Amino acid sequence: MSQAPLAERASAREAPHPERRGLPAGVPVRWASLREALHAEWTKLRTLSSTGWLLLGVIAVTVVVSASAAAATRCPSGVACPVDTTKLSLTGIEAGQAVVAILAVLAISGEYSTGMIRTTLTAMPRRAGVLAAKATILTGLVLAGGTVAVAGSLLAGRLILPGHGFTPARGFPLLSLAEGPVLRAAAGSVLYLVLIALLSLGTAAAVRDSGTAIGVILGLLYLFPIVAQVVNPHWYRHLQQIGPMTAGLAIQATTGLRSLPVSPWAGLGVLAAWAAAALLAGGLLLRLRDA
Amino acid sequence: MTASTVTQYRPAQRPGRDGFAQLLRAEWTKFRTVRAWVIGLVIAVLVMIGVGLFGASAGGSSCQAVSGGPVRTGGACAPTFPAGPGGEPVTDSFYFVRQPLAGNGSITVRISSLTGLLPPANPGPVATDTRPGLVPWAKAGIIIKESTRPGSAYAAMMVTADHGVRLQNDFTGDTKGQPGAVTTTSPRWLRLTRSGDTVTGFDSADGTHWTQVGTVHLSGLATTVQAGLFATSPEYSVISQNFGGGGGGSILPSQATAVFDHVGRSGTWPASAWSGGYIGAAGGSGIGKYHQASGRFTVTGSGDIAPIVAGSGNSGDPGKTITDHLVGTFAGLIAVIVVATLFITAEYRRDLIRTTLTATPRRGRVLAAKAIVISSVTFVAGLVAAAAGVIIGAQVSHARGSLVFPVSWLTEVRVIAGTAALVAVAAVLALALGTVLRRSAAAVTIVIVAIVLPYILGVASILPVGASEWLLRITPAAAFAIQQAAVQYPQVNALYTPTSGYFPLAPWAGLAVLCGYAALALILATIMLRRRDV
C-alpha cells in the first residue's frame, strides 16, 4: 500500500477538519481526495497478482470460446446459412463475462475477506467515493482487457470463417471494423463487459461475500435465457428484453435487427440500468452498514 | 490465570471413539449451525420451485396465441389432440377404405406402387407447383382399427417411402419388416390376421412365401372392428437442421398414393362393399380419395398415424413435458453450488481448517465426510424441490389448460430422483473445486460456468446443432439429460435437437459424465489437501 506519501502530504496540509471530533489535537486528519482514492485503488488492484491473471483469463477465455464457436460452424455449399457471423465470432463474451465478474467481485469482496476494507474506509471515509474510485479503475482495466478480447475474437472469426463456407461470394463479407454494424457489435461488446463489471461490483458491495456475490451475478445473467426457453412467445420476448445478459448482448447483432426483442443500443441501455441499480444498492448499503 | 488453577483437559469422549461417524457428525454440526448455509439451501429449494412455477404459468399457449383453437369447457383453452390408447397425444389422420370385420379374420393385399406429391420447393410469394416425391415416412397399407374414432387402437402393416415394410400399432409400436422401396417390379404383399386381442402381421415378396413380422396385442379390442386399406403422408418440413435456434421453416402437407390389388379377405365381413372416408380430417388438410376398378384400388391420403412429438415444431409447440416444470433447477443449482463451495472455503477464510485438520489429521477422511454431508443434504433438498416442482407444475399447467405430455411413473421417478442426484453431484464438484482453489469466487464461477453455460450455448444460442450436441456430451452440462422426459420416436421425423429438449446422451449416461468430473475433482482435491500445508 502506498500510504507513506499520503501521510507526508497530509502532514504538510494541516487544515483543521470538521470531522476531527474526539481526536487529540496535533493528529493531522483530512479526507483523501478522489484522485488519491483512485491512486490507492489502482495500487491495490495493480499489486494483486490475481488482477493480471484474471485480465489474461478474460482475454484467453473469450478468444478461445469465440474461436471454438467459429471453428465448430460450417456452411456446406448449397445450403442457406442463417448465421450472423459477427455475433458468432463474439460468442466467447458469454464465457468471458464470468471472468470479468470474478475480477469485479474480488475488487471489493477481497477487501472484506482480509479486513482491508476497514483500512480503506478509514483512509477514505467518503464511502461512495471508494466505490466510485473502484468503479473507475475497473472500467479502465476492463476496457483495456475487453478491447483485446474482442479484437482477438473478431480476428479469429475473420481468419476461420471464410474457410468454413462463410465467404464474401456467398454474402458473408470478411469481418471488418470499417463496417458500421460490426463496429457497433465490437465496441458494444467491450462496453457490455464494462457494464458487467460495474453490475458485479455493485452486487458484491451489497452482498460482500465473494462466493455468494458471484452466485447472485451469474444467476442474474444466466437464468433469463434459460427460463425464456420454456415460456410462450409473449413472455419469451419480455424475458429477453429485461434480462441483463439477453438484452445487453443484443448489441452483438448485425443482421435481423427487426426481429430482435430489443434493439442493440436499447438493450445495452437495459444492462446499464441494471448496473446503475446494482451500484446504487451497493453504494447505499456500503454507506448505511458498518464495515 | 495461575498454574494451580489449570486443570488438565480431559476429553469427554473415550479414546477410540473418533471414528468416521464422529467426523460425519462434526461436519453435519458445522453445516447445520451456520445459518447462512441453511438459509441458502432453503432459498435453493424455494427458487427451484418458484422459477419452475413461473415457467409453468407463463408457458401455456394463451387463447390469443392460438387462433381458432378448440375451446375447452371452463374457459381454459389449448390445442386439443386425440389421445392414443396410452394416453399420449397423437395425430390420427389418414384416408381409410374400410369394411367392418366381425370376429376373427384376416386381410391380404399386394401393393405395387407408392408415389406422392410434395409441396413447392420454394414456397415464396410466387407459388410454384407441387412436385412428385415422397416424405421418408409416407405410408400405405392395411389396417385393423377399433373404430373410426381418431386415437382408437389399431394395428397396421404398411409400406413406407424410405423405411421398408413396417408393422405399427397403437401409435408408438413400430416393428421392421422387409427393407426396400416398393415398385411395380418389386411389389410387397402384406397380411394382417386378427385372433381375439392378437393381431399378427406378415409380409411377402411373392405372395407365397410369407414371413411373420410381429404380433401385437390390442387389449379389449371390440368384436367388430374396421379393417381395410389406408394411405397417409406426414407434413413436409423445410427446416434447416444445421443451425440451432432456427426451428422455424415451413411445414406443409404432402400426400401419398398407393396402388393395391389382390385384395383377399377371410372371416366374417358383414358389409359387402368398401366405403372410403377421411379419418381425423381436422388435423390434416383432408386430401384423400380412392378409386376402385377391376380389383385395383388407388388410395390417396395425407396426414399421419403417429404420436405427437414434444417440441417438434409441428403446429407450434404442442405442449410441455415435466422437464419444463424443472427449469428452476438452474436457479436452485446456483444457490447449492455457492453453499457447497462455502462449506470448505469458509474454513480456509476463518482458519477453522487448522482446527479441523488438527482434530482429524487424516485429511482424506475430512473431505469424504464433508462430501457425504453436503451431498446428502443437497440430495434431500433437490428431491423435495423436484417433486414439488413436478407436482405443482402439473397442477398449474392443467389449470391453465396447457397440454402436458404424459410420462410413465418410471420416467417421472427417474426425472425427480435424477434431478436430486444432479444437484448433489454438482455440490460435491463444487466442494472439491473449493478445496483445490481455496477461494470461493473462482470455484463458484468455474462450477456454475461449467454446468450452466454449455447448456445455454447448446440450447439458446446460434451454435450449429452438431456443436451443441458435442457440448452436451463432454461438459458437465451433459447431466441435464437426466431431466429429459420427451420421447424420441424413430418413426416420426422431427427436430430432435437440444433446442427442442432432446439430449445427445441417454439420461444416466449424461449424469455419469457429471459424476466423472466430480470424481476427478474429488481425487485432485484429496491429493492437494494431503500434500499442501494448510
List, for residues A89-133, the tens digit of each pLDDT value.
Answer: 999 999 999 999 999 999 888 888 888 888 888 888 888 888 898
Per-residue pLDDT, averaged over B102-123, amounts to 83
Per-residue pLDDT, averaged over A46-75, amounts to 89
- Asked if B104 and B197 sit in the same domain, the reply is yes
Question: What is the share, in percent, of chain B residues with pLDDT greater than 90?
Answer: 36
| Chain A residues within an 8 Å CB radius of B442 | 102
Segments of A21-156 assigned E as strands: none
The minimal CB distance from A226 to the residues B243, B445, B456 is found for B456
Neighbours of B444 (CB within 10 A): 33
| Chain A residues within an 8 Å CB radius of B43 | none
Handedness of CA A105, A108, A111, A112 (dihedral sign): negative
Provide the pLDDT confidence category of residue B42 given band limits of 50, 70 and 90.
very high
The three cell numbers of residue B426 are 454438482
Residues 6+ apart with CB under 8 A from B454: B471, B472, B475, B476, B477
Provide the pLDDT confidence category of residue A13 given band limits of 50, 70 and 90.
very low
The three cell numbers of residue B186 are 418389386
**Angstrom distance (rounded) from CA A162 to CA B192:** 57
Per-residue pLDDT, averaged over B77-85, amounts to 69
Q: What pLDDT was estimated at residue B59?
A: 65
* DSSP code at position A19: T
The three cell numbers of residue B515 are 459424476
Could you write out the DSSP letters of every residue in B446-510?
A: HHHHHHHHHHHHHHSSS-BHHHHHHHHHHSGGGGGGGG--PPPPTTS----SGGGT--SS-HHHH
Neighbours of B414 (CB within 10 A): 20
Residue range B299-319, pLDDT digits in tens: 988 888 888 877 644 334 567
Phi, psi angle pair for A99, to nearest 5°: -70, -40
Hey, is B167 helix, strand or coil?
strand
Assigned domain for B391 exists: yes
- Asked if B203 and B120 sit in the same domain, the reply is yes
- Asked if B280 and B332 sit in the same domain, the reply is no
Residue B243: pLDDT over 60: no
CB B41 within 8 Å of CB B339: yes
Residue B428: pLDDT over 50: yes
CB A109 within 8 Å of CB A198: no
Q: Which of A53-57, A137-141, A245-249, B134-138 has the lowest mean pLDDT?
A: B134-138
Mean confidence (pLDDT) of chain B:
83
How many A×B Cβ pairs under 8 Å?
138
Residues 6+ apart with CB under 8 A from A193: A58, A93, A96, A97, A100, A142, A145, A146, A149
Highest-pLDDT range among A128-137, B481-490, B510-519? B510-519
Assigned domain for B70 exists: no
Between B77 and B332, name the one with better pLDDT.
B332
CATH of the domain at B110: 2.60.120
Q: Which of A144-158, A233-247, B329-343 has the lowest mean pLDDT?
A: A233-247
Q: What pLDDT was estimated at residue B4?
A: 55
- Give the gap in angstroms from C-alpha B472 to the nearest C-alpha of chain A: 14
Residue B333: pLDDT over 90: yes
**Angstrom distance (rounded) from CA B161 to CA B256:** 9
Question: What is the share, in percent, of chain A residues with pLDDT greater than 90?
Answer: 41
Q: What pLDDT was estimated at residue B493?
A: 78
Alpha carbon A217 to its chain's center = 11
Residue A50: pLDDT over 80: yes
- The angle that helices B409-437 and B440-459 make with each other, rounded to 10 degrees, is 140
Per-residue pLDDT, averaged over B404-416, amounts to 87
> Which of B252, B282, B307 is the C-terminal boundary of a domain?
B307
Written as one letter, the residue type at B475 is T
Kindly give the pairing relationship between strand B131-132 and strand B288-293: unpaired
- Asked if B299 and B406 sit in the same domain, the reply is no
Residue B62: pLDDT over 50: no
Assigned domain for B79 exists: no
Q: What pLDDT was estimated at residue B64?
A: 38
- Asked if B291 and B342 sit in the same domain, the reply is no
- Give the gap in angstroms from C-alpha B482 to the nearest C-alpha of chain A: 17
Q: What pLDDT was estimated at residue B72?
A: 36
Q: What pLDDT was estimated at residue B246?
A: 44
Residue B8: pLDDT over 70: no
Q: What pLDDT was estimated at residue A165?
A: 80
**Structurally, how many domains does chain B consist of?**
2
Please name the residue of chain B whose CA is at the shortest distance from the CA of residue A109: B441
Residue A140: pLDDT over 90: yes
- Asked if B335 and B291 sit in the same domain, the reply is no
Residue A25: pLDDT over 50: yes
Q: Determine whether the interchain pair A226/B342 forms a contact, defined as Cβ–Cβ distance below 8 Å.
A: no
Query: CA triplet B377, B379, B381: central angle to 5 degrees?
Result: 70
* DSSP code at position A238: H
Query: CA triplet B329, A110, B346: central angle to 5 degrees?
Result: 55
Residue range B343-387, pLDDT digits in tens: 999 998 888 898 888 888 888 999 999 999 999 999 999 999 999
Return the residue in A51, A81, A97, A227 with the most chain B beta carbons within 10 A, the one to mutate for interface testing. Answer: A227
Per-residue pLDDT, averaged over B403-423, amounts to 89
Q: Determine whether the interchain pair B445/A218 forms a contact, defined as Cβ–Cβ distance below 8 Å.
A: yes
Residue B523: pLDDT over 90: yes
Highest-pLDDT range among B169-173, B216-220, B318-322, B423-427? B423-427
Cα first-last separation, chain A: 20
The three cell numbers of residue B38 are 441453511
Neighbours of B447 (CB within 10 A): 31
Q: Determine whether the interchain pair A222/B456 forms a contact, defined as Cβ–Cβ distance below 8 Å.
A: yes
- Asked if B289 and B405 sit in the same domain, the reply is no
Q: What pLDDT was estimated at residue B67?
A: 35
Q: What pLDDT was estimated at residue B5?
A: 58
Residue B516: pLDDT over 60: yes
**Angstrom distance (rounded) from CA B521 to CA B534:** 18
Range of the domain at B55: 20-59+320-484+497-531
A144 sits in the region (left: phi over 0; alpha: psi -120 to 50; else beta) called: alpha
Assigned domain for B491 exists: no
**Angstrom distance (rounded) from CA A91 to CA A4:** 45
Residues 6+ apart with CB under 8 A from A177: A154, A183, A186
Per-residue pLDDT, averaged over B138-159, amounts to 91
**Angstrom distance (rounded) from CA B153 to CA B227:** 12
Residue range A195-209, pLDDT digits in tens: 999 999 999 999 988
Q: How far is CA A60 from CA A248, B330, B449, B463, in A?
A: 21, 26, 15, 20
- Asked if B338 and B409 sit in the same domain, the reply is yes
- Asked if B360 and B292 sit in the same domain, the reply is no
**Angstrom distance (rounded) from CA B338 to CA B434:** 10
Q: What pLDDT was estimated at residue B244?
A: 46
**Angstrom distance (rounded) from CA B227 to CA B272:** 13
- Give the gap in angstroms from C-alpha A166 to the nearest C-alpha of chain B: 14
**Angstrom distance (rounded) from CA B314 to CA B301:** 19
Written as one letter, the residue type at B153 is A
CB B475 within 8 Å of CB B454: yes
Q: What pLDDT was estimated at residue B283?
A: 47
The three cell numbers of residue B440 are 470461493
Q: What pLDDT was estimated at residue A276?
A: 95
Task: Tell me the Cα Rg of chain A.
Answer: 22
**Angstrom distance (rounded) from CA A115 to CA B435:** 22
Beta pairing partners, B296: B293
- Asked if B480 and B506 sit in the same domain, the reply is yes
Q: What pLDDT was estimated at residue A220?
A: 92
Domain ranges of chain A: 32-288
Q: Determine whether the interchain pair B464/A72 forms a contact, defined as Cβ–Cβ distance below 8 Å.
A: yes
Provide the pLDDT confidence category of residue A272 given band limits of 50, 70 and 90.
very high
- Asked if B124 and B269 sit in the same domain, the reply is yes
| Chain B residues within an 8 Å CB radius of A196 | none
- Asked if B366 and B280 sit in the same domain, the reply is no
Residue A274: pLDDT over 70: yes
> Which of B284, B307, B330 is the C-terminal boundary of a domain?
B307
Assigned domain for B64 exists: no
> Which of B307, B336, B360 is the C-terminal boundary of a domain?
B307
Assigned domain for B344 exists: yes
Assigned domain for B71 exists: no
The three cell numbers of residue A89 are 465470432
Mean confidence (pLDDT) of chain A:
84
SS3 letters across B137-164: CCEEEEEEECCCCCCCCEEEEEEECCCC
Q: What pLDDT was estimated at residue A138?
A: 93
